[in-house]
Amino acid sequence: MNIKPIKTEQDYQDAIKMLEAVFDAAPNTAEGDELEVLGVLIDNFEKIHFPISLPDPIEAIKFRMEQLGNSSQ
């Protein structure tokens, strides 16, 4: 396991490739541990560099109503 912090976009892409290689790893194995660590590192990088803001509450309600077919427009 050669895991390092994700500091750049290239590090991120490399980590994604590594994650894909061990994606189906069984828990409590070396590959499973690698999967878990990579998941945490990737999640942290994405939260910092690709933040997802919360929707406007009214727009979220309108969207859900549209999904349910309850649009009053």
Q: Express each pLDDT in 24-38 by its tens digit.
A: 999 999 999 999 999
Higher confidence at residue 22 or residue 71?
22
d(C-alpha 42, C-alpha 24), whole Å: 17
Provide the mean pLDDT of the chain. 92
Model's pTM, two decimal places?
A: 0.72
Binning pLDDT at 50, 70 and 90, where does residue 67 land? Answer: very high
pLDDT value at 49 more than 90: yes
Binning pLDDT at 50, 70 and 90, where does residue 71 land? Answer: low
